[in-house]
Every structure is written in structure tokens, then in C-alpha cells.
Amino acid sequence: MKIVLKLTSHLISLILFTVFILILFIVVSARASGGEPEFLGYQLKTVLSGSMEPGIQTGSVIAVEKVNEGMTFEVGDVITYMEDEQRLTTHRITEVIENGEQTMYRTKGDNNENVDVTPVLAENVVAKYTGYTVPYVGYALNTINTKNGAFIFIGIGAFLLLYSIFTIWRAIAQVDLKTGRKEAVER
């Protein structure tokens, strides 16, 4: 029973430390680049509404591929586009509208009853959803971007660092104790 508790404790510590390092990497890379967080070449976007549920849950982080020159989209693709100067939206294409040299997309959230009123101009599309979603992490990333959230994040990081130092110190002390006993027995 003691071994199971010890293994569980180590596993939980490893998971927390890994999540902490991953979030730290994402936040630092976003701040350093001055833009959106990126991971393995994909931009990470936080979903703030339920318009795409159940496929994409509110609070999820999604991986999107930035739009490249000449990239085209078709009905069924999920795109992220600038709805206005301040707001990004991620919805599914329901219709492609060719109007001379201009392409527009009619979109709809999977959880919405009606299609979006205004078609999306092709130049307003910034990314295409890749199908990768991490539920609930968006809540943490949004919280970290606030003053209180950053304070909590730094506090958790400091706690994990101190816990790691304490664990290493304790392990070294146990090794020294065993070595001291072994030397005493050999004399």
C-alpha cells in the first residue's frame, strides 16, 4: 500500500510539473513573439463560446494552421476568421460563394441553428482548424493572462520548484544515511 501511494504521489507530481512546463512554454513563446502562442508549428486558439459544441467544447484550446498564400477552403472545413477588428471566430463553412474574382464563405457554428448573417471574405480567414483539441486548457490560459492568474501561476510554479528541491534533498539525505550505515557496518 505504501508503494502504491508513493508511486501515485510521484505520478501526480510528474503530471503537474509537465503541465506547468507546457503552459509556461506556451505563455513565454506567445509573449516573446508578441502574437499567438504556437506549438509544433500550429497556432493555439482558445475557444470562448459554445457555438461549435459538442465537437469543440467551450474552454478548449484548438490547434489551427495559419493560412498560406493560395490556400483554398471547401464546404465542411472549419476556419478561424476575423469577424471584426477585435474578434476571431471559428465556424464551419456551409457554402463557398464565388463572386467574380472575390471568394466568400458562408459559415455556421455547429451548435447554432442558423448560418451566420454576414459571409466571410477570403482575406479575413486567418487559419484552418486541424482537428486537434485540448479540452479545458483554454480556461487556464485565459486565467494566466490576467494579473491574478499570473500571480497564481507563479505561486504554483514556486510551490512545484520548492517541492522538487525538498524531494531531491530528502533523497540525498536518505542515500547519505544508507552510505553512513554501510560504512559503519564495514568497520
Contacts of 111 (CB under 8 A, 6+ apart): 50, 51, 52, 53, 54
* Residue 33: how many other CB atoms lie within 10 Å: 10
- Active-site residue identified among 9, 33, 49, 51: 49
Whether the Cβ atoms of residue 171 and residue 179 lie closer than 8 Å to each other: no
How many whole angstroms separate alpha carbon 9 and alpha carbon 120? 50
Nearest to 129 by CA among 83, 67, 70, 84: 67
Q: Are strands 120-121 and 102-108 parallel, antiparallel or unpaired?
A: antiparallel
* 49 annotated active-site: yes
**Residues designated catalytic:** 49
